[in-house]
């Protein structure tokens, strides 16, 4: 079955970099951008050029080195922002300007002290102006998650008419439920005149832990771009995690959707971003966390040793992890101990294993995790003739 492509728009270097205390310098951004390009992301949001001279320079340098991906710069619906972004993006082979404005009643009233008609006018002006510099213009309706669907459709229709190629529907505050976010996409698909001329894009924040679920619901309902970051980093609770959405689509082929990502580079890329940002990946993080392929309870270990698929839905090699790990703890059984002992050079008979296991349990009760070097000590303490 041929699959529809979902474009991966990586915003690690823009929304992701908004994590407090995780600022990257240009050198670090360039290394990450080159890696994202190799990973196969379709669009790299390189920064917000008007925000600082450093960001402007990073966007320009990224635009120079990126070979395959579209390079994108963020702007507000402000002329000067758009001019500066266009200038920063000049070296890019395929540049995109990402402009937009808040569309929820809360943003219109409190941020802009404005009204709905005036917001549509500003949105149209921004897109039309951006179009004078580049062909590819993405429009974001900030806080679309809390924007009434009927008004959102009016905004979208107006900016598509003005030439927007992509419509970003951000759940800026991470408020929506998956059903609600999916229904919003469906509503836009069915009610915006000219929607066939633009790609709908999911941009979800993780305030309620729903960013990934919402993005998947968005593409099931017609969106064809997901905005995400490596390790799900970003403001507050973060953005949609790139590695999660990519592997969800891959593990559920019946959805008929896939991406251009080379998943074997996911683990390494996650480590690279974590190190450069000085932000550790939580051990239980899906796909790339240290425990994502680690098994520690006896029942699970026994199953995985017999057949990996009993407790693993992803082959670790598919995401660049060499192999699953069998972690030895006081919850481990004989199968796990025999497996790890064999790895460090001991082929134990059943009787030998019984003796070593008793010693192992005493040791494991004192220590959280039993390591390879401990296995030698345990076997010595068991007083076995391992040659027999
Ligand atoms: O979350 C958001 O609304 C954004 C926009 C600026 C695209 O990051
Ligand atoms: Zn965002």
CA of 137 to the centre of ligand 1 (A): 15
Nearest CA to ligand 1 atom 2: 172
Which of the listed residues 15, 45, 123 should we mutate to test ligand 1's pocket, taking the one with most ligand atoms within 8 A of CB? Answer: 15
Which of the listed residues 203, 227, 235 should we mutate to test ligand 1's pocket, taking the one with most ligand atoms within 8 A of CB? Answer: 203
Pocket of ligand 1 (CB under 6 A): 15, 140, 142, 168, 170, 172, 203, 205
CA of 142 to the centre of ligand 1 (A): 6
| Per-residue model confidence as pLDDT tens digits over 309-337 | 999 999 999 999 999 999 999 999 999 99
What value does the mean pLDDT of the chain take? Answer: 96
Q: How confident is the model at residue 385 (pLDDT cuts 50, 70, 90)?
A: low
CA of 31 to the centre of ligand 1 (A): 24
Nearest CA to ligand 1 atom 5: 142
Distance CA 246, CA 170 (A): 19
Q: How confident is the model at residue 87 (pLDDT cuts 50, 70, 90)?
A: very high
CA of 204 to the centre of ligand 2 (A): 7
| Per-residue model confidence as pLDDT tens digits over 6-40 | 999 999 999 999 898 888 999 999 999 999 999 99
Instruction: With a cut of 80, say whether residue 388 has pLDDT above it.
Output: no
Tell me what the mean pLDDT of segment 145-166 comes to: 98
DSSP string, 233-267: --STT-B-BHHHHHHHHHH-GGG-EE----GGGHH
Distance CA 305, CA 308 (A): 6
CA of 140 to the centre of ligand 1 (A): 7
Q: Which two tokens stand for residue 292?
A: 């994502």
Nearest CA to ligand 1 atom 1: 172
Question: Taking a C-beta distance cutoff of 8 angstroms, is the pair 65, 106 a contact?
Answer: no
Q: How confident is the model at residue 1 (pLDDT cuts 50, 70, 90)?
A: confident
Distance CA 370, CA 161 (A): 64
How far are the Cα atoms of 78, 152, 270 from residue 124, in angstroms, in the given order?
A: 11, 13, 38
The atom of ligand 1 lying closest to the CA of 140 is 7
Residue 237's Cβ-side half-sphere holds a number of Cα atoms within 13 Å equal to 15
CA of 138 to the centre of ligand 2 (A): 14
């Amino acid at each position: 079955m041929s699959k529809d492509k979902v474009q991966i728009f990586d915003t690690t270097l823009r929304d992701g970099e908004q994590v407090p205390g995780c600022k990257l310098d240009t050198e670090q951004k360039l290394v990450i951008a080159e890696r994202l390009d190799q990973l196969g992301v379709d669009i790299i949001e390189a920064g917000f050029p008007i925000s600082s001279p450093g960001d402007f320079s990073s966007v320009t340098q990224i635009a120079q080195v990126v070979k395959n991906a579209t390079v994108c710069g963020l702007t507000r619906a402000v002329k000067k922002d758009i001019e500066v972004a266009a200038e920063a993006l000049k070296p890019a082979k395929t540049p995109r300007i990402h402009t937009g404005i808040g569309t929820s009643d809360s943003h219109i009233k409190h941020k802009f002290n404005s009204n709905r008609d005036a917001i549509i006018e500003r949105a149209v002006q921004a897109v039309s102006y951006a179009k004078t510099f580049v062909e590819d213009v993405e429009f974001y309706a900030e806080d679309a998650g809390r924007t009434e669907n009927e008004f959102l459709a009016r905004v979208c229709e107006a900016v598509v008419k003005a030439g927007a190629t992509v419509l970003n529907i951000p759940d800026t505050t991470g408020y929506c439920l998956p059903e609600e976010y999916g229904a919003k996409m469906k509503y836009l698909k069915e009610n915006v005149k000219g929607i066939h001329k633009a790609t709908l894009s999911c941009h979800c924040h993780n305030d309620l832990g729903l960013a990934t679920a919402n993005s998947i619901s968005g593409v099931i309902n017609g969106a064809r771009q997901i905005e995400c970051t490596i390790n799900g980093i970003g403001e507050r609770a973060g953005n949609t995690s790139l590695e999660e959405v990519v592997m969800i689509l891959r593990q559920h082929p019946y959805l008929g959707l896939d991406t251009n990502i080379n998943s074997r580079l996911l683990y390494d890329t996650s480590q690279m971003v974590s190190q450069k940002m000085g932000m550790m990946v939580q051990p239980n993080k899906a796909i790339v966390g240290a425990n994502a392929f680690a098994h520690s309870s006896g029942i699970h270990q026994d199953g995985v040793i017999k057949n990996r698929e009993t407790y693993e839905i992803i082959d670790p090699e598919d995401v660049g992890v060499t192999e699953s790990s069998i972690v030895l703890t006081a919850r481990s059984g004989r199968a796990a101990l025999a497996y790890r002992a064999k790895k460090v050079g001991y082929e134990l008979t059943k009787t030998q294993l019984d003796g070593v296991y008793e010693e192992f349990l005493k040791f494991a009760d004192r220590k959280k995790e039993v390591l390879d070097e401990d296995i030698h000590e345990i076997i010595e303490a068991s007083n076995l003739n391992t040659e027999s």
